[in-house]
Chain A
Amino acid sequence: MATVPASAKVVVIGAGIVGNSLVHHLARLGWRDIVQIDKGPLPNPGGSTGHASNFIFPVDHSREITDLTLDSVRQYQEMGVFTQSGGFEIARTPERMEELRRRMSSARAWGIESELVDPAFVKEKVPFIEEDQFIGAFWTPSVGVVDSLRAGTIMRERALEAGALTVVPNAEVVGLDVEDVPSGRRIRRVRTDGGDIETEYVVIACGVWSPKIGDMAGISIPLTPAVHQMISVGPCPQLAEREGEISFPIVRDMDTFCYERQHGADMEVGSYAHRAILHEPEDIPSIEQAKLSPTEMPFTSDDFDPQLEQAYELMPELLGAEGAEMRYAINGLLSLTCDGNPILGESLVEGLWTAAAVWIKEGPGVGRAVAEWMVDGHSEIDVSHSDIRRFHPHQMRREHTRLRTTESFIKTYGIVHPSEQYESDRDQRLAAMHDSQVKLGAVFFETGGWERPHWYESNAPLLEEYGDAVLPREHEWDARWWSPIINAEHLRMREAGGVVDLSAFEVFDITGPGSLDAVQSTCVAQCDVPVGKVVYTPVLDGAGGFKADLTVMRLGDEHFRVVTGAAHGPADRSWFADHAGPDTVLTSRTDDIATIGLWGPRARDVLASLTSDDVSGEGFAMLTCREITVAGLPVLASRISYVGELGWELYVGVDAAAQLWDALLDAGSSSGVVPVGIGVYGTTGRIEKAYRAVGAELDAERTIVEAGMQRPKVKAADFTGREAYLAQRARLDSGEAPETVLCTMAVDDHTSASGVKRYMLGGEPILTRSGEPLTDGHGHHPYVTTAGSAPSLGKHLLMAYLPPEQARVGTELAVSYMEELYPVTVVSADATAPYDPANERMK
């Protein structure tokens, strides 16, 4: 049994690709006294890294994952463990070809060289493939394989050489000691079978075992071990005659959810086509109980047989070659999460970090990002979609992970629409007026577990009224998870008014003597305002990138209410909690307060008919809030708008919310006011006003100046990111253009080559009119951050960060959609709204 040091600055649990990357980057950034432990031996302790296929296809639809992958490839190359092979993703069906065209969009957007090729092109590079089995392919020359075990050893050795690291293999964690501190709970000690380690920080980087280790400190790391089947067939004479590990491109057979990857004289066939086979972390065998390694479970051949036949059809001469035998077959365990993203960052236990559910292709990139995050408080690559604090309570249940991964496993190589909704484990959080919404034919989309009406079928009669103004979409893909009713609701809201359920808002109160300091030090905007004022403000990280964008209401001298979106709610709440001093209390109100939006030209009439309070323009000014009585119910009304219309957000206790909802719809019906869904609130109403959204336009890699959201003055009080923000402004004031500028464009012509009008959905690259790539000052290529109908303008609008030279109203560019170019023109090169730029309608 190994003995461990008695103390450390940080204990990294796990010596797979993630733990090894992490100790290297922590050491590189100057940390010392790092202890890395693993229950297994080195260099392969028996986790998922040890049996990984180790190949990397860089193109993913997610920018975050792609950036982590590209960074990882750079690191693998620098270590000399990357072998470029090229890779094909082949299509057997027209639907898959369309998906590969969509993949081309992502490749262009992220600046990765790829092209669509015919079967003959594939055959030339992979002579043993049957051309008649597929119709085309997506070719990425930069695909390659890595030696992840060697990379791990190199990275550990670098940290050892720096004198920063002690590595203890064969030491198993048996407990994590957490203690109460004024700000909550803090990690104190790692207990192992080789002794205890007193420590400031702990990182759980133990892949499939992470949930079990997390439980020891009372935190949920919601991932599940899942089987990925893999066999190795060889020796194949076609492969054996070539030198080295790999000399033929890797083939991903997308429609059979399989891949074929050369490994020396063997061909490895892997599959994501079988049923989801999930395990509990507690049921993974020990090293002694396992036949091969704990994460190489016994192969269940029945599950693999259908894929074997498909692989054989694709490469009969190779897989059926004389002497080629199935020499190795495993049910390999890997980690899956409910949304497919890794789990990174500091948990709700201070000092206890996580870096799990990471694949080989992201490992070193994740190691660097998490190390930067630990050392500097932020990382160069924004990893907020992977933040452990993104999880809502219902997502921390093992049941949720089990159900969602069961549903999503088959989508690993699937064709997934960007708006596609999950079917499993729905109805976790229902608004108080849910029954009414069901009666109105609401089509629900899920955000943070909330069921939110995206549109209401009850508004279908409006389609006839508005005719082609609803911008109908001819193509099934463009119209999937969408309805022209959204645009009809939009037009009706602008004409009369709409009532919007915003129950999903994350709402929390900050109270106590330190409350003003807490909000002032967190928010960019001046929050030291009179009681009854509403403040709309960005929240920055230390580097001046966006952390959040939200509203703060001052309800008392020592009482502020923060309102933010559901998706980012838990992360935003923890950010405020981390900034709150000891004399501050942060209370979540999300579950006891519902929010209903009322907007449109008739909004004031409707509200006035239900209240005796003064809701006139003089009596209830923009960006103010106060308690009023509406339909006999106590309501906190806030005059603000995210859709560009006169109106209010009405905050009401959940017990009274259904009653208020009914009263508003009743009172509004005679003037044409209708219930309006999130399709309008989140996209059409917003994009016409060029309002930016966190997760689309705003993230930690974007600045206020780039987003064009700077105000004339910066408050004197200090706040996180202030220094960086001042520097960004100073550069602008000195006449220097920002590296990139957020713009809004209108599509000039939607007609495709086939004559069908096409409508972009987001993520597409913006090119010159003639199709040449554009590059901004960060070296990034512009892509569509939000796409949506602007029914009041009769246009389809796109938002994208453009190089400053192109960021001028009137610039003519093109958007590439499914590998065809469509002309676009810049209509706004700052935050000016394309619709009602003077904001007359909000008065």
Chain B
Amino acid sequence: MVAPLVAVKRVVDSSSEVVLTDDAQAVDGRFAGFTMSAHEECAVELAVRLGESRVVTLGDADAVEQLRAALAVGCTAATHLVADPQTFGPADVARELAGVVREHGHDLVLLGNDAADSGDFQVGIRLAYELGWPVVNGAQTVTVEDGPDGPTATVHVSGPDGHETYRLPLPAVVTVLEGGVEPRYPTVPGRMKAKKVPIEEREPAAPPAGTGRVRLLLPPPTPSDVQVLGKGAEAAPAVVDLFERLGVIAR
């Protein structure tokens, strides 16, 4: 039986205007709130479908909210690497995750394709390197079958140029791109149960090397490309033209 570990990160939820903290080291979540990224929501969904799964995060005390959210939708255990995530670079995080994998004996690790805030695409690959396991990036779906040589994962990846299917023996690391599965919302009993699951707390194994990040800068606002096609019934021909151009309809 597969024992997946799924890694999530507490990030600021999305809104049309990004607000930075006063020190420009992070995105400020006081208005939009915090969540895990859409990639990770899909990773959690895939992990839950695969079996009894553990969720892990590296973050401060508030990150427990994201662990509980994963527990509420079906993860059955949780590990909290208690640390200030701003001081941890991707290599640091990968090393700490590897410790959890070894400790709990997982054979499959699911992560988001990239972090919603730092967007560095590194942790999954670095974790695979650290563990010496194969890695597939940008997965839409993951299934696991038992074979004669042990469990084998089938991973589907969709890109602009076509579809790829990988079959690889476990253990393995897979990073998930949103869109392959529809993440579920928590149920009321799920949320109540999540509240009662004990969360394992771990100290980081080594001090972080850091991210090397100096500060965040917001891009200049993009000019609006809103075009008013007309008002009322008079707008109809322009809308039809546009739909045709976009390939929504054919004439």
Partner-B contacts on A (CB < 8 A): 233, 283, 285-291, 297-299, 301-302, 305, 308-309, 311-312, 319-320, 324-327
Chain B residues within 8 Å of A324, by CB:
187-188
Contact B185 A325 (CB under 8 A): yes
A309 engages B192 (CB within 8 Å)? yes
Question: Could you tell me if A301 and B189 are in contact, using CB atoms closer than 8 angstroms?
Answer: no
Interface size on B (CB < 8 Å)? 24
Task: Given A289-B15, A289-B19, A289-B31, decide whether A326 and B68 contact each other with a Cβ distance below 8 A.
Answer: no
Output the nearest chain B residue to A322 by Cβ-Cβ distance: B187
Could you tell me if A301 and B191 are in contact, using CB atoms closer than 8 angstroms?
yes
Q: A301-B65, A325-B186, A326-B186 are in contact. Are A291 and B191 (CB under 8 A)?
A: no
Q: B34 at the A/B interface (Cβ < 8 Å)?
A: yes
**Interfacial chain B residues near A301, Cβ < 8 Å:** 65, 68-69, 191
Please tell me if the beta carbons of A320 and B16 are within 8 angstroms of each other in the complex.
no
Task: Judge whether B13 is part of the interface by a CB distance below 8 angstroms.
Answer: yes
Interfacial chain A residues near B191, Cβ < 8 Å: 301, 305, 308, 326
B32: chain A residues at CB < 8 Å are 285, 289-291, 298
Contact B187 A291 (CB under 8 A): no
* Interface pair B185/A286, CB less than 8 Å apart: no
Q: Which residue in chain A gives the minimum CB-CB distance to B16?
A: A288
Task: Sort A-B residue pairs by CB-CB distance and give the 9 closest, nearest first.
Answer: A298-B33, A285-B31, A325-B185, A288-B17, A319-B188, A291-B32, A289-B31, A288-B16, A320-B189
Task: Report which of A283, A299, A312, A327 forms a contact with B189, defined as CB distance below 8 A.
Answer: A312
Quick check: is B184 within 8 A (CB to CB) of the other chain? yes
Q: How far is the CB of B111 from chain A (nearest CB, A)?
A: 24
Can you offer 12 A-B residue contacts whose CB atoms are under 8 A?
A288-B15, A289-B16, A289-B32, A290-B31, A291-B31, A299-B33, A301-B65, A309-B192, A324-B188, A325-B186, A326-B186, A326-B191
CB within 8 Å of A: which of B136-191? 184-189, 191
Q: Is B49 an interface residue (CB 8 A)?
A: no
CA distance A319 to B188 in the complex (A): 6
Instruction: Give min CB distance, B197 to chain A, whole Å.
Output: 13
Q: Is the CB of A320 within 8 A of B188?
A: yes
How near does chain B come to A51, taking the closest CB pair, in angstroms? 15
The CA-CA distance from A320 to B187 in the complex, in Å, is 7
Contact B65 A326 (CB under 8 A): no
Least Cβ distance of A235 to chain B in Å? 11
- The distance in angstroms between the C-alpha atoms of A420 and B156, with both chains bound, is 66
A66-B34 Cα distance, complex, nearest whole Å = 40
Report chain B residues within 8 Å CB of A320: 187-189
B1-15 CB contacts (< 8 Å) to partner A: 13-15
Residues of chain A within 8 A (CB-CB) of B189 are 312, 320
Give the CA-CA distance A221 to B33 in the complex, in Å.
28
B192 A326 Cβ-Cβ under 8 A: no
A417 and B32 alpha carbons, distance in the complex (Å): 40
Report Cα–Cα, A475/B39, bound state, in Å: 63
Q: Is B195's beta carbon under 8 Å from chain A?
A: yes
Give B19-30 as 1s and 0s: 1 = Cβ < 8 Å from A's Cβ atoms. Answer: 100000000011
B186 CB contacts on chain A under 8 angstroms: 325-326
| Separation of A311 and B192 alpha carbons in the complex (Å) | 11
Partner of A291, one of B14, B69, B188: B14
Whether the pair B34, A298 counts as a contact (CB closer than 8 A) is: yes
Number of CB contacts from chain A to chain B under 8 A:
67
Alpha-carbon separation in the docked complex, A286 to B17 (Å)? 9
Contacts A290-B31, A297-B33, A301-B65 known; A308 to B14 CB distance under 8 Å? no
CB neighbours (8 Å) of A302 from chain B are: 65
Known: A325-B184, A326-B187. A312 touches B33 (CB 8 A): no
A305, B69: Cα distance in complex, Å: 12
Would A312 and B13 count as touching, CB distance under 8 A?
Answer: no
Q: A291-B15, A311-B188 known; 5 other A-B pairs, CB under 8 Å?
A: A283-B30, A289-B31, A298-B29, A312-B192, A325-B184
User: CB-CB < 8 A to A311: which residues of B?
Assistant: 188
Neighbouring B residues of A286 by C-beta, 8 Å: 17
**Bitwise interface map of B from 212 to 236 toward A, beta carbon under 8 Å scored 1, else 0:** 0000000000000000000000000
The answer to whether B13 and A298 touch across the interface, beta carbons within 8 angstroms, is yes
Q: A301-B65, A305-B195 are in contact. Are A290 and B188 (CB under 8 A)?
A: no
Closest to A231 in B: B188
CA distance A308 to B191 in the complex (A): 9
Residues of B within 8 A of A299 (CB): 33
In-complex Cβ contact of A233 among B14, B15, B188, B192 (8 A): B188
Q: Which residues of B have CB within 8 Å of A287? A: 16
In Å, the complex CA distance between A299 and B65 comes to: 11
Which residues on B sit within 8 Å (CB–CB) of A298? 13, 29, 31-34
Q: How far is the CB of A367 from chain B (nearest CB, A)?
A: 29
A233 to B29, CA, bound (A): 25
Residue from the set B19, B31, B185, B188 with the largest chain A CB neighbour count within 10 Å = B188
Instruction: For A232, give the chain B residue with the smallest CB separation.
Output: B185
| Chain B positions within 8 Å of A305 at CB level | 191-192, 195
Q: Which residues of A contact B187 (CB under 8 A)?
A: 233, 320, 324-326
**Nearest A-chain residue to B64, judged by Cβ:** A302
Of all chain B residues, the one with the shortest Cβ separation from A323 is: B187
Once A309-B192, A325-B184 are accepted as A-B contacts, the answer to whether A290 and B34 lie under 8 Å apart by CB is no
B17 surroundings in chain A (CB, below 8 A): 286, 288-289
Q: Which residue of B lies closest to A309 (CB)?
A: B192
Measured CA separation A320–B193 after assembly (Å)? 12
Among B94-139, those with CB < 8 Å from A are none
How far is A544 from B184 in the complex, measured between Cα atoms in Å?
Answer: 63
Q: What A residues does B33 contact at CB under 8 A?
A: 291, 297-299
Quick check: A291 and B13 within 8 Å, CB to CB? yes
The CA-CA distance from A733 to B29 in the complex, in Å, is: 71
Q: A290-B32, A291-B32 are in contact. Are A308 and B192 (CB under 8 A)?
A: yes
- Bound-state CA distance A89–B29 (Å) is 38
Find the residue from B14, B17, B69 having the highest chain A CB count within 10 A.
B17
Q: How far is the CB of A316 from chain B (nearest CB, A)?
A: 8
B106 to chain A, nearest CB (A): 27
Give every chain B residue within 8 A of A308 (Cβ-Cβ): 188, 191-192
Contacts A289-B17, A298-B13; is A326 near B34 (CB within 8 Å)? Answer: no
Q: Is the CB of A326 within 8 A of B185?
A: yes
Nearest CB of B to A83, in Å:
26
Closest chain B CB from A46 CB (angstroms): 12
A297→B34 CA distance, assembly (Å)? 11
Smallest CB-CB separation from A306: which chain B residue? B195
Chain A: minimal CB distance from B199 (Å): 14
**A326 CA to B189 CA, complexed, in Å:** 10
Residues of A within 8 A of B15 (CB): 285, 288-291
State in angstroms the CA–CA spacing of A285 and B19 once bound together.
Answer: 10
User: Chain B contacts of A297 at CB under 8 A?
Assistant: 31, 33
Tell me, in angstroms, the Cα distance from A794 to B111 when the chains sit together.
81
Which residues, 73 to 95 on B, are CB-close (under 8 Å) to A?
A: none
How far apart are A13's CB and chain B's nearest CB, in angstroms? Answer: 22
Residues of B near A319 (CB, < 8 A) are 188
Q: Given B19, B65, B185, B195, which contacts A327 in the complex, CB threshold below 8 Å?
A: B185
| A212 CA / B141 CA spacing, docked (Å) | 50
With a cutoff of 8 Å between Cβ atoms, the chain B residues found around residue A327 in the complex are: 185
Kindly list chain B residues whose C-beta atoms are within 8 Å of the C-beta of A285: 15, 31-32
Q: How far is the CA of A319 from the CA of B65 in the complex (A)?
A: 22
Taking a contact as CB atoms under 8 Å apart, the answer to whether A312 and B188 are in contact is yes
- Residues on B with beta carbons closer than 8 Å to the beta carbon of A326: 185-188, 191
What is the CB-to-nearest-CB distance from A612 to chain B, in angstroms, rounded to a whole number?
A: 71
Q: How far is the CB of A172 from chain B (nearest CB, A)?
A: 15
The docked-state distance in angstroms from the alpha carbon of A317 to that of B65 is 27
Q: How far is the CB of A109 from chain B (nearest CB, A)?
A: 39
The chain B residue sitting closest to A284, CB to CB, is: B31
CA distance A546 to B54 in the complex (A): 70
CA distance A785 to B33 in the complex (A): 49
| Cα distance A305–B195 in the bound complex, in angstroms | 8
Q: Report Cα–Cα, A92/B29, bound state, in Å.
A: 39
Query: Please, how many angstroms separate the alpha-carbon atoms of A69 and B169 in the complex?
Result: 67
User: How far, in Å, is A80 (CB) from chain B's closest CB?
Assistant: 24
